Structure 1
Amino acid sequence: MQETKDASSKPKKVNLSDHSSIKHLLDESVSEIVKSCGYVEDTKLSNLNLLIGTIVITIALFAQFYKKKFPENYNFLIGCITSYIIINGVLQLISYVKEKNAILFTHPPVGSFSTTGLVVSSKLPRFSDLYTLTIASADAKSVSANKPVELTRSVTKWFTKDGELVEGLLWKEVDGLINKYAREPKKSK
């Protein structure tokens, strides 16, 4: 039986000379694969970033549209600028400490005995064709956390010479990595 192709089943193409586009397409595809394996995205950190970003924008708007003109609002502007810098610093700290190279945070799969989800991270260094995908526990200190697993492959393995992503090959590799993570023995404490 032949399946009907819809808009979402169009082949995914990328400009092979655009490093950022390659990484973005691979990250997006990996996220789709992980979610299709029963993992639900955990959006708490994204929502926190959005909240902090909204606060920063609000501070900037207050500074811009404050009723008084410049010499009279000097102290108010200094307070807004200081708040803006501090809150932006917090946002950068969260990104540096918690997110790192993460492309996806998940909850544990439904029906699982695990109490922790996954952190899926990727790297594609500039001027390199080696894409590294890491799957680790969202809470490394949890009793149900497994050892992180990693896969490094050349992106040329997953793309045709025309820049079309061979999703079946990528799917097989990512699914295998998820299964390897699930089979890893628990770390000893």
Structure 2
Amino acid sequence: MEPIKIDKWDGSALKNTLDDCCRGVLIEKYGYTECHKLMDIRLTICTAAVACAAFALVYDYLYAFPASKMVLISCSSTYFLLMGVLTLYTNLVEKGIFLVAKKVDPTGIDPTGRITVSSCLKRFDDIYQICFEYNTGKKGAKTKEKTLSRSVASWFDEDGHLLFDSFKADVIQLHNSLVSKKDL
């Protein structure tokens, strides 16, 4: 893997880089299959909002303002309502989740295990918190959860290069403490 260099003072870049590397480690090392359902729902809400705005634009172009007044009002109201729904969805449902992945048994005998990974890096803070939730998929099984909180300085050097091996080792250790060998 080629070295990753970022601006170490950019919190969003730090979080996104660590999230992407964690996703890569879990998918490559453990063979998880990523589930895009959360992202698909968000994209559906966004598409509906943009379609509503585009309809208002086209309708206003075809029928000038006085005739399109009610359509513009209803489309604008619907757009802002959908943006409110999107905000609630990202804050209440997604909650920082960047990976939902499944471990499917190739023989089809064992149930499908599911891992959900979320992270948090607050503004002007150096503590990156990553949370793994794992469910074996067995009937009545409880979801197990483990969290790791550490300074981003332990994974980046002075120049902003990611110390990938150190981060990968921490992700693997966190994963292995949560998921047993027989579940893999």
Answer yes or no: is 1:161 the counterpart of 2:158.
Answer: yes
Matched-pair contact (CA < 8 Å) for 2:134–2:178: no
What count of residue pairs does the alignment treat as equivalent?
176
Structure 1 pair 114–123 and aligned structure 2 pair: CA distance change class (3 A): farther
- Which one is further off, 83-92 or 68-77? 83-92
How far 1:145 moved relative to its partner? 3.6
What residue identity is the alignment partner of 1:43?
H
* Counterpart selection for 2:54 from 52, 57, 61: 61
Name 2:179's counterpart in structure 1: 182
Residue 103 of structure 2: SS of its match in structure 1? coil
* Counterpart selection for 2:94 from 79, 92, 99: 99
How far 1:87 moved relative to its partner? 2.2
Residue 172 of structure 1: SS of its match in structure 2? helix
Answer yes or no: is 1:17 the counterpart of 2:5.
Answer: no
Name 1:39's counterpart in structure 2: 32
Name 1:6's counterpart in structure 2: none
How far 1:172 moved relative to its partner? 0.6
Whole-Å separation in 2 of the counterparts to 1:116 and 1:94? 25
Identity %: 31
Structure 1 pair 79–65 and aligned structure 2 pair: CA distance change class (3 A): same
Residue 13 of structure 1: SS of its match in structure 2? coil
What residue identity is the alignment partner of 2:15?
K
What residue identity is the alignment partner of 1:59?
C
Greater than 6 Å deviation, 4+ residue runs:
none
What residue identity is the alignment partner of 1:31?
R
Answer yes or no: is 1:81 the counterpart of 2:76.
Answer: yes
Matched-pair contact (CA < 8 Å) for 2:105–2:112: no
The gaps in structure 1 that reach 5 residues or longer are 1-8, 184-189
How far 1:30 moved relative to its partner? 0.8
Whole-Å separation in 1 of the counterparts to 2:9 and 2:16? 13
Instruction: Judging by fraction of residues, say which structure has more helix.
Output: 2
Whole-Å separation in 2 of the counterparts to 1:97 and 1:18? 25
- Which one is further off, 168-177 or 89-98? 89-98
Structure 1 pair 145–158 and aligned structure 2 pair: CA distance change class (3 A): same
The gaps in structure 2 that reach 5 residues or longer are none
- Which one is further off, 88-97 or 76-85? 88-97
How far 1:95 moved relative to its partner? 1.3
Residue 7 of structure 2: SS of its match in structure 1? coil
Residue 58 of structure 1: SS of its match in structure 2? helix
How far 1:139 moved relative to its partner? 9.7
Matched-pair contact (CA < 8 Å) for 1:123–1:131: yes
Answer yes or no: is 1:125 the counterpart of 2:117.
Answer: no
How does the TM-score come out when normalised to structure 2?
Answer: 0.86
